[in-house]
Amino acid sequence: MRRTLAAAAVVALLLPLTACADDAANSHTGAAPAGPSVAGPKVKIMVGGLDKVIYLPAMLTQRLGFFAEAGVNVELMSEPAGVNATTALLAGDVQGAVGFYDHTIDLQAKGKHVESVVQFAQAPGEVEVVSAKQAGAIRTGADFKGKKLGVTSIGSSTDFLTKYLAVKNGVNVSEFSPIAVGAGQTFIAAMQQGSIDAGMTTDPTVAALLSQQIGTVLYDMRTPEGSRAALGGLYPSSSLYMNSDWVEKNKDTTQKLANAFVKTLK
């Protein structure tokens, strides 16, 4: 996991895959197009946004046929945020979730035994974007005070990271307003309408905001270097995580999932 995907490669891979994810992502809760029929064990995986570049390995593994090759029948589903994927996992609606590693730490502290099975990246892949109208007023995290800051949802990884950036720059979490605006078109609309002054999101939303000149980049955490500059170090992010009890009882199936994802990452 020492390498990040080259930007050009990501774009090339994303174009055909985003179209496949649109229906599931736009309906908030839905299933991705089914992969090849497999006689192996059935596993449902909830992804915190199938159309997000940071979670690309999930759809890519299915489209490349690596789940089928490993002998596991995977159904990918989509929620707009990683925290929603976690809720589905804890409720037993799915066997796995694709979201940020920090959710496993948060859940362990609450007595929920959840573990990362495969780690996808060591940088968040997130970008703090400032509305074009606020570009002169928000130049660092110290300027978050009194502002409305967009996050995917309250309790999400974007919420965690936003709070960290604020505190790191001397702003208390009570001194700004986190606003849940999702991702994609809902995030873009919130910034256009002035519902948020700045916000944290991922590609392809970032690319759309920049191309339409709706916002400018404040902190770019899409690379290890950007993560170090903004956060002071690396930040393990997107991953496949599962309930530890399920992993213990289904070691063979868990290994098959790990093998498929690792082949995609390679």
Domain layout of the chain by residue ranges: 7-122+236-265, 126-231
The answer on pLDDT for 24 being more than 50 is: no
Give me Rg for the CA atoms of the chain: 18
Residues contacting residue 19 through CB under 8 Å, at least 6 positions apart = none
Backbone angles phi, psi at 98, to 5 degrees: -110, 110
Q: What is the pLDDT of residues 216-248, one digit of tens each?
A: 999 999 999 999 999 999 999 999 999 999 999
Give the mean model confidence (pLDDT) for residues 63-91.
90
The answer to whether residues 161 and 220 touch, using CB atoms and an 8 Å cutoff, is no
The reported pTM is 0.80
What is the three-class DSSP state of 2? coil
Q: What is the pLDDT of residue 249?
A: 97
What is the chain's mean pLDDT, rounded?
A: 87
Distance CA 42, CA 29 (A): 19
Confidence class for position 87, pLDDT limits 50, 70, 90: confident
**Higher per-residue pLDDT: 96 or 24:** 96
Q: What is the pLDDT of residue 11?
A: 37
Give the mean model confidence (pLDDT) for residues 3-7.
38
Residues contacting residue 100 through CB under 8 Å, at least 6 positions apart = 48, 82, 124, 157, 160, 237, 238, 239
**Higher per-residue pLDDT: 31 or 23:** 31
Q: What is the CATH number of domain 7-122+236-265?
A: 3.40.190.10
Q: What is the pLDDT of residue 67?
A: 97
Q: What is the CATH number of domain 126-231?
A: 3.40.190.10
Q: What is the pLDDT of residues 190-226, one digit of tens each?
A: 999 999 999 999 999 999 999 999 999 999 999 999 9
Identify the H or E element spanning 100. Answer: strand 96-100
Asked whether this chain's domains 7-122+236-265 and 126-231 adopt the same fold, the reply is: yes
The answer to whether residues 121 and 153 touch, using CB atoms and an 8 Å cutoff, is no
Q: What is the pLDDT of residues 119-139, one digit of tens each?
A: 999 999 999 999 999 999 999
The answer on pLDDT for 13 being more than 70 is: no
